[in-house]
Structure 1
Amino acid sequence: MANSAEFRLSITRALGDQLAESLSKLAPAPLDLPGITGLAPRPGVYQLYEDDTFVYVGKADNFLPGRLMEHFTKLSGRLHVGRMTFACLYVEEDLHAVAPEKLLIARYKGKGQAPWNNNGFGNNDPGKERDTTDFSKKPNHFDVLHPANLDWVCDGIGPGRYTVDKLLKRLKDDLPYVFRYQRAAFHKDLAVDVTCWNPTADELFRKIASTVAVANPLWQITALPGYVIMYPKSGPYPSARRIYS
């Protein structure tokens, strides 16, 4: 019988297990304005659920309400996102040094959970390198499963004549998903007539594209799975959902 053995203590793993256990005891709340604004403005970690299925874990270095509001805004502009809920833990400042969300991600990934982590769910512009991505090879990517809603209603835009430049800026500010475009001097000289209140993004993209194409046919607006771009080139964009020109 051996009289010695090696013992290894993984403090980080134990901490990840404790965080996960604490989160599992919480009843998820709706990811809506009342649920978010009811939180204290403190840092912490959180989990998102889609139709009661755990899909994402994240952190808020400053304020949980602000971070969750970003997710709420993004998800509001997606199709078929289901019923979103969340659970969260307030985390003291000294715990951030050990990156608690990374401990949770490592734990969940080993169990095949948290599918939205490292799979396209985020709030930042993915950059031009993703414009030419072939998403047929990524069927489980967040943007493929939950594409940007082109029928998004642009509240507050009413009948009138708008310069292309002004309308592009308005769309970029108002849409709950990325709309990236290249600026051009002639955008200030072209005008678009809007004939109704609260048009959809699709209707405005069509008007802008047809107006700009008359001045320069190289320009087109391309709707990709998770966002929309406008450049004076035709790609190739293998995952284009809709092209306006």
Structure 2
Amino acid sequence: MASQFSSQFRLSITRALGHQLAEAFDELAPAPLTPENLDRLDEQAEAERLSSRSGVYQLYRRGEFVYVGKADKRLSGRLSQHLRKISGRSNISPSEISFKCLYVAEDFSAVAPEKLLIKKYKADGHIPWNTNGFGNKDPGQRRDRTALSADHFDALFPIDLDRQVDGLGTGEHQLADLLAKIKSGLPYNFRFQKDSRFDAVSVTVPSAALTADAVFRLVAPALPEDWQISALMGYVIMYPDKGADYPSGFRYYRGVTVTEEQPKRVPAGEAGTLFEDEDEDEDEEDPQ
């Protein structure tokens, strides 16, 4: 019981750790998110013989602090994922992004340092990307028919279908092999249902420098009659659902026909509750 001359003291170790982490970040200067700087991270870790290359990081866009994340294995690997993701988006460029990071010893990771930082910075009104779906995994088919809020990351920065697909080769491709190359060559997820008929179909690729839009225009006519390719704001899907419309769909490839649509929106923040922001591990594969 408190009185004028006595009270109860509660020591919050986690709060103290959160403040110390924030202070350590304050001593760092943001660096451009480039492959060269990410290579330097690994070189630094090697030179300093760090026992762990995991840690926490901050992202900035045009100098604005937008995101706190973690890397359970390698900071450079997780940041490389973000670099690749942003490179495949409209309305944003990797040149706008910078980062800071802290290596965290393995025995300290159990206290979830990124959660301590998120709690602190949310209270200060920072890190908008921690609540808009930036770090989410592919939510799978259960979320394909969800309308996005106007402030969702995918609504603000939709996938760029004019982005060139990496790793394509010219000439005739078995459709199944071509789909796998498209998936690995895009900086956003291309999720599709596998079908044994794809092994018996060939598609001729006229150039190794094709955009995603151009490749999907080649693939769609080779699909079975009831299939379509649907470009949603955050990823592309391909299923036997020809004629289906998706709330966040903006381009559909149905045979030789390509259709543009206006994605549906809900008020800012409303649909975001459906996407619990979850910073994915850098070695995790996208679901098929």
Aligned match for 2:110, one of 76, 97, 103: 97
Query: Relative contact order (alpha carbons < 8 A, sep ≥ 6): 1 or 2 greater?
Result: 2
CA distance in 2 between counterparts of 1:231 and 1:87 reads 40
Q: Which residue of the partner structure matches residue 212 of structure 2?
A: 201
CA distance in 1 between counterparts of 2:57 and 2:126 reads 14
Aligned match for 2:238, one of 209, 222, 230: 230
In structure 2, relative to structure 1, the CA distance for the partners of 1:146 and 1:184 (3 Å cut) is same
Q: Which residue of the partner structure matches residue 28 of structure 1?
A: 30
| SS at structure 2 position matched to 1:126 | coil
1:6-34 Cα distance to aligned partner (Å, 9 max, x none): 22222211211111121122110011111
CA distance in 2 between counterparts of 1:143 and 1:152 reads 16
| SS at structure 1 position matched to 2:14 | helix
Q: Which residue of the partner structure matches residue 282 of structure 2?
A: none
Following superposition, the deviation at residue 91 of structure 1 comes to 1.3
| SS at structure 2 position matched to 1:230 | strand
Q: Which residue of the partner structure matches residue 185 of structure 1?
A: 196
| SS at structure 1 position matched to 2:216 | helix
Contiguous gaps of at least 5 residues in structure 2: 47-52, 255-288
RMSD after superposition: 1.6
Aligned match for 1:221, one of 226, 229, 243: 229
CA distance in 1 between counterparts of 2:155 and 2:114 reads 25
In structure 2, relative to structure 1, the CA distance for the partners of 1:235 and 1:24 (3 Å cut) is farther
| SS at structure 2 position matched to 1:46 | strand
| SS at structure 2 position matched to 1:171 | helix
Does the alignment pair 1:151 with 2:162? yes
Following superposition, the deviation at residue 227 of structure 1 comes to 0.4
In structure 2, relative to structure 1, the CA distance for the partners of 1:171 and 1:19 (3 Å cut) is same
CA distance in 2 between counterparts of 1:158 and 1:170 reads 9
In structure 2, relative to structure 1, the CA distance for the partners of 1:158 and 1:60 (3 Å cut) is closer
Question: Superposition pairs for residues 13-52 of structure 1, below 5 Å?
Answer: 13-39=15-41, 40=45, 42-52=53-63
CA distance in 1 between counterparts of 2:187 and 2:26 reads 30
CA contact (8 A) 1:133 1:239 kept: yes
Aligned match for 1:120, one of 111, 133, 138: 133
CA contact (8 A) 1:219 1:231 kept: yes
Following superposition, the deviation at residue 199 of structure 1 comes to 0.7
CA distance in 2 between counterparts of 1:121 and 1:127 reads 16
CA contact (8 A) 2:166 2:186 kept: no
1:147-184 Cα distance to aligned partner (Å, 9 max, x none): 11111112442431222211111101111110000111
| SS at structure 2 position matched to 1:176 | coil
Following superposition, the deviation at residue 86 of structure 1 comes to 0.2
CA contact (8 A) 2:174 2:202 kept: yes
Aligned match for 2:123, one of 75, 87, 110: 110
Moved over 6 A (4+): none
1:8-62 Cα distance to aligned partner (Å, 9 max, x none): 2222112111111211221100111111111126221100111111111111222
CA distance in 1 between counterparts of 2:166 and 2:12 reads 52
CA distance in 1 between counterparts of 2:180 and 2:245 reads 25
Aligned match for 2:8, one of 6, 9, 21: 6
Range 199-208 or range 234-243, more displaced:
234-243
CA contact (8 A) 1:71 1:123 kept: no
In structure 2, relative to structure 1, the CA distance for the partners of 1:99 and 1:156 (3 Å cut) is closer
Aligned-partner residue type, residue 60 of structure 1? A
Q: Which residue of the partner structure matches residue 53 of structure 1?
A: 64
Range 221-230 or range 66-75, more displaced:
66-75
CA distance in 2 between counterparts of 1:172 and 1:198 reads 15
